[in-house]
Amino acid sequence: MTDSTYLDGFLKGHVAFITGGGSGINLGIAKNMAAAGAKIAICGRTFSKLEAAADEIRAFGVDVFPVAADVRDLEAMEKAFLETEAALGSVSIAVAGAAGNFMCEVKDMTYNGFKTVIDIDLMGSFNTAKAAYDQLKKTKGSLLFISAGQSLDAHSHQAHVCAAKAGVDKLMQTLAIEWGPGGIRCNSIIPGPIDGTEGMKRLTTPETLPMLINAVPARRLGTVDDIGRAAVFLSSPFASYISGAVLPVDGGLTLGGSGMFNFAAQQFNAGKKSK
Ligand code: HXC
């Protein structure tokens, strides 16, 4: 449950634009930023899903603008940013959070399957950054990418996500260098396993979940608020000298590499084949 008391006013005067903001981790980020006083634009493919999420965010007493666009379409993203500026003012926080995932070994993956995740995660992040640039330059804003542990370590059944997220983090760091002199800060968050999210549904089974929790030094799943609070901090003036950082918010999971995940992926695959 997002608690607004300690976040109150942290992001007052800011306008946040969050891709993938209709659900999961990105909706959690939107709610935490709303609790901190920012106006919120949420962007996703399905307008009805965004409208429902917008009602939840409005409960924090801020203006909310749901805008439908596919991150794979640069022109649509540029239009979404312009519409947001007209509705809420210039964006000062952009969050590239939209992502896609499924478990599949490369030998079974089609060209289009690999490309689809590259297009959503990596090209979608590039398109969001490009479309955000003019407004972030005006506001000297913050650009935040939602990466994954797959950026740091190779993960079985995740070649598409590993390639995409490693690209996202290097894109982020390049932008931190190129756009830093203009006052724009760029950072990434690497979420750990977050309870109740689409990613957890896709990557775990009831059999592999306890193994995963056991591999987390904090011995628990994360919550969307764990990620939301980190996103508020990195986008706030308290992080004004942080740029180019890749911050794991994962209870220490990435310290152990991907060994447990690779073992669990074999079980996942074996489970699918036996059905
Ligand atoms: C193999 C698959 C597949 C699967 C899809 N494809 N699912 N291949 N195994 N389970 C292939 C399809 O066969 C097709 O290739 C291609 O991918 C595109 O599929 P579409 O369904 O047409 O694409 P689209 O509707 O755009 O959907 C994109 C998607 C989907 C990524 C496939 O799953 C999606 O929209 N996901 C969004 C939500 C999501 O995944 N959230 C979780 C993010 S978690 P062919 O060749 O047949 O045309 C995350 C964090 C990771 O990213 C880290 C967590 C710890």
What secondary structure does DSSP assign to 196-216, as a single string?
T-HHHHHH--TTTHHHHHHHS
Using most ligand atoms within 8 A of CB, pick from 116, 118, 145 the residue to mutate for ligand 1: 116
Q: How far is the CA of 237 from the centre of ligand 1 (A)?
A: 36
Residue 19 phi/psi, 5-degree rounding, is: -80, 145
Residue from 193, 156, 108, 165 nearest 268 by CA: 156
pTM for this one?
Answer: 0.95
User: What pLDDT shows up at residue 271?
Assistant: 66
Residue 100 phi/psi, 5-degree rounding, is: -130, 150
Query: Is the CB of 148 within 6 Å of ligand 1?
Result: yes
Q: From the CA of 121, give the closest atom in ligand 1.
A: 52
CA distance 173 to 158: 22
Chunked mean pLDDT (size 10), the chain, 275 residues: 70 98 98 97 97 98 98 98 98 98 96 98 99 98 98 97 98 99 98 94 87 95 98 96 98 94 80 59
Query: Is the CB of 110 within 6 Å of ligand 1?
Result: yes
Locus of tokens 């490309």:
115
Query: Is the CB of 43 within 6 Å of ligand 1?
Result: no
CA distance 255 to 152: 10
User: What pLDDT shows up at residue 101?
Assistant: 95
User: What pLDDT shows up at residue 263?
Assistant: 84
User: What pLDDT shows up at residue 140?
Assistant: 98
Residue from 192, 158, 117 nearest 264 by CA: 158
Q: How far is the CA of 106 from the centre of ligand 1 (A)?
A: 14
Q: From the CA of 158, give the closest atom in ligand 1.
A: 51
Query: Is the CB of 104 within 6 Å of ligand 1?
Result: yes
CATH architecture of 4-197+222-252: 3-Layer(aba) Sandwich (3.40)
User: What pLDDT shows up at residue 1?
Assistant: 58
